[in-house]
Amino acid sequence: MKLRGMTGIEISHTINELRRLEGGFIKKIYNIDGNSFSLLFHPEVDGRREIVIDLRGFIFLTKLKWAKPQTPSSFVMTLRKHLENARIESISQLGLERIISFEFPRGMRLIVELFGGGNLILLSGDEIVASQRRAEYRGRTIRTGEIYKPPPSPWKEIPSFSREELTGILGRIPPEEKVWKVLTGLGLGPPYLNEVLLKLKIDAEVKISDLDLEKLADEISDLMSRRTEPTLYLDGEEIVEYSAFPLSHLEYDRARRDLLSDAIEDYYKSKGISFEDERISSLRREIERQISLKEEYERTYAQLRRIGDTILSNIHEVEEALGRARSGEEHALVKRVDWKSGKVIISLEGEEIQLDIRRSASENASEYYDKAKKAREKALRIDKALSNIMERLKQIESSLEERKLELSPKPRKRERWYEKFRWFYTSSGNLVICGRDAQTNSEIVSKYMDDKDLFFHVDMPGGAVVVLKVEREVDQRSIEQAAVAAASFSRAWKEGLSYADVYYVKGEQVSKHAPPGMYLPKGSFYITGKRNYLRAKLELSVGIQETQDGMKLTAAPPDAPFICSVRIRPGSMSKEEAAIRIKNKLIELLSNVKIGGGVEVPADELTLDNIVRSMPPGKVRVEE
């Protein structure tokens, strides 16, 4: 069954659920894929912290964790710039349209359009700052710099839907309007439209002038005034439909949900999620181009070969024609001679053939055979190229199938506070936390570093803040491991260096503020007192460490305590390709590890996303 997007009435019921977020803040924005987005908010509501928006027709509060790409789109980066940490002042629906408006301070608005292919539009006042896609409609244009105009609608505000008011509204509709169009305009698309039609026993194509408007108003009023009772409709185990409240005409088994968001999410998941991969599209286009080129070379080969055969099978006549042409005499085969280029055109077996007047008939035939041979060689080279492209496509499709499983939403687990950073445990059992960017660097220093902790940083700009938590006695080996992390999670890795200098100090020696009269660049720290220096090697291992919460994947210096791990160094391989190799190797290693009854690693730990996320910025080399 085709995926059905939300109707206006369902959006109205969902808005009531979303309004609980008013007064909260947007924490982060992600693009799940080309059509879908996630808005993380805080504080949580009923253990939920994401709004999923699919421009194909869905918006709901999710109780699951949705995988996110490592690299956000430029549009999402713009949304983050304007809306991160912004307070959600209000959430509303535009009349009865499939349009939702999130309003923020300083006149910023995020408009969600769930019709006609969908769109996500960022506004400052009424001016469009950015949009997921440009679009032009009659009377309105969605483009940066334009004034946002919603689609024309007779329902500027949601009416009370009393019988009297609806009868008056219906009476003002042009008499030729068909009932299905009226009901859809009121937000009652299928299946609600079908409920009204079946109860009144009328056809969707009936004109409004042919109806008892009071009876129609009664049915519309009844639907519009119903309270939310989210319902799923099941054919065996398959979810075939959902609604904001029970509908009598849907004769399926039913299941109830607490929130309409839950029902929509279950329906949405059951229909599967499509993921776009530009690499596959690009390779398929290249395969089509190569096949077309090969066919052209094969046609050229056949044509050139046929001309060579024709010349040889009529060699005496062709030789005589060439001799006459050289003497300036006429011949029945000769059509024209171009003395400037030295070419002669003859007509042979119903085909015009170009010959070199300076060569013999057999030499001209040989030239055509040579050209045919080259065309055939090009076609064979394309066969080899096609084989390589198709093998590459097969590999990507195989990894994509695995990726689809990884990207499917999963129950959200509670994470330890340090898991939002890079982290690992040292050989002495001390926790090391590493920043991912300027914001998390600052957060580590201001919120999580104590005076007795050790602060590490590579001796160059562009490195992660690394803090060794001193909650138990620290040995020299742990200090060296923290130094390796500081060297590896830095610009030095991206530059392909083998070693880097790292310094460390106590937490009490680090300040985010410079003394009076001194300027401290944003994202920098002021260090007082003596610094301790170490020469650290750039190398890490990605593997499984045992923690108090079970087995977890992380990246750490190779001599850190791992159950099993794979070593990496700066190299030339993309992190995505490396992640596939690392995952396969870890699965192999884990199958050989026997500790008691074996090692249980949760499936959502050993994912390509987690592996990529654990590695330093820059390309890598996987040590076999």
Report whether 20 contacts 79 (CB < 8 A): no
For residue 56, being part of any structural domain is answered with yes
Looking at the fold, whether 310 and 293 belong to one and the same domain comes out as yes
Looking at the fold, whether 356 and 421 belong to one and the same domain comes out as no
What's residue 405's pLDDT? 47
pLDDT in tens, 173-232: 888 888 888 888 777 888 998 888 888 888 888 888 888 888 888 888 888 888 999 999
Report whether 217 contacts 168 (CB < 8 A): no
For residue 246, being part of any structural domain is answered with yes
What's residue 23's pLDDT? 94
Q: How far apart are CA 72 and CA 59, in angstroms?
A: 20
What's residue 275's pLDDT? 43
Q: Which residue among 406, 427, 442 closes a domain?
A: 406
Long-range contacts of 320-324 (CB under 8 A, 24+ apart): 321/346, 322/355, 322/357, 322/359, 322/360, 322/361, 322/364
Query: Which three-class secondary structure state does DSSP give residue 391?
Result: helix
Looking at the fold, whether 262 and 346 belong to one and the same domain comes out as no
What DSSP character marks residue 447? I
CA angle 85, 14, 196 (to 5 degrees): 160
Looking at the fold, whether 252 and 292 belong to one and the same domain comes out as no
Kindly report the number of other CB atoms within 10 A of residue 554's CB atom: 23
* Alpha carbon distances (Å) from 146 to 83, 128, 131, 141: 20, 6, 11, 7
CATH number of the CATH domain containing 58: 2.30.310.10
The pair phi, psi for residue 475, each rounded to 5°, is -95, 170
What's residue 596's pLDDT? 45
Looking at the fold, whether 98 and 146 belong to one and the same domain comes out as yes
**Residue written as tokens 């730990």?**
605
Q: Is the pTM of this model over 0.75?
A: no
Q: Which residue among 360, 380, 406 closes a domain?
A: 406
For residue 181, being part of any structural domain is answered with no
Looking at the fold, whether 363 and 483 belong to one and the same domain comes out as no
Return the half-sphere exposure (C-beta side, CA atoms, 13 A cut-off) of residue 95. 15
Q: Which residue among 245, 274, 303 closes a domain?
A: 274
For residue 173, being part of any structural domain is answered with no
pLDDT in tens, 112-146: 999 888 999 999 999 999 999 998 888 889 999 99
Helix (H) or strand (E) holding 558, with range, is none
Number of domains the chain is built from? 3
What's residue 202's pLDDT? 85
For residue 315, being part of any structural domain is answered with yes
Looking at the fold, whether 267 and 283 belong to one and the same domain comes out as no
According to DSSP, the β-strands at 422-425 and 431-434 are antiparallel
Beta-ladder partners of 327: none
For residue 220, being part of any structural domain is answered with no
pLDDT in tens, 368-424: 999 999 999 999 999 888 888 888 777 766 655 555 545 556 555 667 889 889 999
Looking at the fold, whether 300 and 262 belong to one and the same domain comes out as no
Looking at the fold, whether 288 and 145 belong to one and the same domain comes out as no
Looking at the fold, whether 56 and 80 belong to one and the same domain comes out as yes
> Nearest CA to 158 among 189, 185, 122?
185
The pair phi, psi for residue 356, each rounded to 5°, is -90, 115
For residue 185, being part of any structural domain is answered with no
What's residue 165's pLDDT? 77
* Alpha carbon distances (Å) from 190 to 2, 210, 243, 269: 13, 22, 10, 20
- Residue 431: give the domain boundaries: 417-622
Looking at the fold, whether 454 and 384 belong to one and the same domain comes out as no
Looking at the fold, whether 249 and 365 belong to one and the same domain comes out as no
Neighbour-count burial for 181-219, b at 16+ CB within 10 Å, e otherwise:
ebbbbbbbbebbbbbbbeebebeeeeebeebebeebbbb
For residue 171, being part of any structural domain is answered with no
For the chain, which ranges sit under pLDDT 50?
Answer: 1, 274-276, 405, 595-596
